[in-house]
Amino acid sequence: MNLSFFFRKPSPVFHSIEEQFFAVQKALPEDITHNNRFAKCLSKGFFRRLFIMIHAAFNQGDINHITGDIHFVALFLKKKKTILTVHDIGSVLNKTGIKHKILRYFWFTMPFARVQYITVISEFTKQEILENFTLDPEKISVIPDCVSAKISYSEKSFNTEKPNILQIGTKANKNLENLIPALEGISCKLTIIGKLSEKQTALLKTHEIDYENRFNLPFLVLLDTYKQADIVTFISTYEGFGVPILEAQASGRPVITSNLSPMKEVAGEGALLVNPENPEEITSAFNQLISDAGLRKTLIEKGLENVKKYSAKSVADQYSKLYKTVYNANNS
């Protein structure tokens, strides 16, 4: 059985999808081979996207797996042999206008109709799809993201005087607007991964936060930022999954995350949960974690136990079963 994995054009900035599936590929059984088909150009404009679809049509395998982002290539692939992975549907929620309608139709409605199976990375995303699109629930399988084997536990002496707090992401859903005021008055250094807006920079200055901003980091450099951190914060208001939670846990760092789905399920018992809309509660969680060594130790231990459920082998086994189901249906 030979798979064709379809990826967006490689980027030094966006690599989470690629790293997920590279890890899965290494853990697939030997009887499943694969080819990676990367888009030859960025997904911008009609003609570039048409070229991406034509290129995909000429590079199909026994099974086609669209790994995310370029959902529209499903229109040019053989339906009975194609699987689509959806990471979230945030881009079409609570929006109106012609651009929204085009996005919804070509990235979700049509691709959903043109594939045999859809995989999602959380039960939360599955329910969102079913609430917003008319689909048979049996067509959607929940297969979570995995933890990269490139991440390993790294012991670190906790800096109680001025802990380094790592924040992954700067988009609106990453919730810096509540995190920043919550840290006012706490002696810490905030390391922010992702380009800051002028508004966010002004907010950091207003609340007198000592911070470092880094972006466009290669994956291995990003992993090193976890090792340098004392605490990892991920208090998003919306996520399809929450891989940084697992990356932090695998690195051996205490985590503060949102008490919302799917983040609370992903974190298990290995994180301190907070209401992401309540700065006072966020402040209290940081103070608690900074002052309580026993709590930090417990969260780290439970985090390391939690990530075992998300090993590349475990996730690859789930994909393998789906691949074999599709293959057997086409070759019976």
User: How many other β-carbons are positioned within 10 Å of the β-carbon of residue 116?
Assistant: 20
CATH superfamily to which 164-310 belongs: Glycogen Phosphorylase B; (3.40.50.2000)
Q: Kindly tell me if the per-residue pLDDT of 99 is higher than 90.
A: no
**Alpha carbon distance 311, 162 (integer Å):** 33
Q: Return mean pLDDT, the chain.
A: 95
C-alpha to C-alpha distance for 264 and 258, rounded to whole angstroms: 7
Q: DSSP character for 109?
A: I
CA distance 174 to 258: 10
pLDDT tens for residues 288-331? 999 999 999 999 999 999 999 999 999 999 999 999 999 999 98
Determine which helix (DSSP H) or strand (DSSP E) holds 300, and give its type and residue range. Answer: helix 293-306
Domain 2-146+311-330 sits in CATH 2.60.120.10: no
Q: What percent of the chain has pLDDT over 70?
A: 100
Summarised one tens digit per residue, pLDDT across range 191-227 is 999 999 999 999 999 999 999 999 989 888 999 999 9
What average pLDDT does range 121-141 have in this prediction? 95
The phi-psi region of residue 68 (left if phi > 0; otherwise alpha if psi is between -120 and 50; otherwise beta) is: left
CA dist., res. 256 & res. 232, Å (int): 6
9-13, 100-104, 150-154: which has the minimum mean pLDDT? Answer: 9-13
> What angle (nearest 5°) sits at the alpha carbon of residue 213, between those of residues 211 and 219?
130
- Averaged pLDDT, 150-154: 91
**Residue 230 corresponds to which amino acid?**
D
Note whether 2-146+311-330 and 164-310 share their fold. yes
- CB 29, CB 53: distance < 8 Å: no
**What's the mean pLDDT in 176-191?**
97
pLDDT at 184 over 90: yes
Is the pLDDT at 11 greater than 90? The verdict is no
What six digits make up the tokens of 65?
């797996």
Structure tokens at 268: 């298990």
The SS3 assignment for 78 reads coil
* Backbone angles phi and psi of 194, in degrees to 5: 125, 145
Domain boundaries of the chain, sorted by first residue: 2-146+311-330, 164-310
pLDDT at 13: 73
Q: What is the pLDDT of residues 239-272, one digit of tens each?
A: 999 999 999 999 999 999 999 999 999 999 999 9
pLDDT mean over 70-85: 98
pLDDT at 91 over 90: no
Instruction: Please determine, for residue 92, whether its predicted confidence score (pLDDT) is greater than 90.
Output: no
- 148 band by pLDDT with thresholds 50, 70 and 90: confident
The pLDDT tens digits for 15-74 are: 889 999 999 999 999 999 999 999 999 999 999 999 999 999 999 999 999 999 999 999
